[in-house]
Amino acid sequence: MQTPKFSRTYTTLRWSCIFLFAINVVLALIVLVPLFVERVDQWSGWQSGEWAAAGAWLGGTMTFFAVSVAVWQTNNANRQARAAEHRAQAEMVNTERKHSADIEAQRRTEQIQIVANIWTAVGEVHRHVHNVDEAFYDILKGRGTTEGRDRAYEPYSAALTHMDTTFTISYMLVHDSEIEALIRASESAHKLLVKAMQKAYRENDKMVWHDQDDLLARMAAVNEFREPMTTAARDYRRSTTARVLGAPDAPPATAIATPKPEAPTSVAAVATSA
């Protein structure tokens, strides 16, 4: 918006008129108020005591109005303070909920990652199981040596050590009971595979054919936990979101039958005992 050409002159004249008008009003009041009081005094015939009483009543009335205005302002200030307090509490609750949601999202990401790490490690172990099994077969067919078998067994043992570390880390990061139960079940099934490999190793030393179908069944038993564990990690967000936002909790998950470990040793310890 453009400024008028003579805006400064106009403003000066405007304030000059207001100032002169105010002077005229003050002078008029100085002249008219005494005349008004004198006329009222002549008309009413009041004495000085009566005027004092009227002044007291007028002063009391003004005091009442002043106190009423002060009380109204105080109540208004209190309402504004309470409203501000409620807004602050609501913001604090929203902040806490957002913080809780961020923590739950981080936990969910960690759990998804640990589940992925577990099955990566499982796949690595199973790959080396096949390699060691081929070395067993070559020895029994007279095409291999125990040195070649032991060379194939070394990366298998290292994969088991990594598997054991992955399981240990998972128990520190996983917070969902269903996922933890699945991890423990898969670890127990994996220990049975390790023991089957230990038995096959001893039988190979004696030049005895080991039960290859048993190894395949043990690996299949471990792989049975892949889909339910992945599904539980993916669905974990629904229950945690319900808890964070105050929604009703999701129905409890079906209990999982966890195989009881035969020994409290780690998978790496079982493997290295072979």
Give per-residue pLDDT as tens, 32-73: 667 666 666 666 665 566 656 666 676 777 787 777 878 888
The DSSP line for 258-269 is PPPPSSS--HHH
Query: Over the stretch 93-135, which tens digit does the pLDDT of each residue have?
Result: 888 888 887 787 787 788 888 889 999 999 999 999 999 999 9
- Tracing tokens 């007028």 back to the chain, one arrives at 58
Kindly tell me if the per-residue pLDDT of 82 is higher than 70.
yes
The DSSP line for 131-183 is HHHHHHHHHHTTS--HHHHHHHHHHHHHHHHHHHHHHHHHHHH---HHHHHHH
Q: Is 92 exposed, middle or buried, given 0-12, 13-18 or 19+ CB atoms closer than 10 A? A: exposed
Domains and CATH numbers, the chain: 100-272 (1.20.120)
CB 252 within 8 A of CB 223: no
Q: Which among 103, 264, 250 has a CA at the least distance from the CA of 173?
A: 103
What pLDDT band is residue 81 in, cutting at 50, 70 and 90? confident
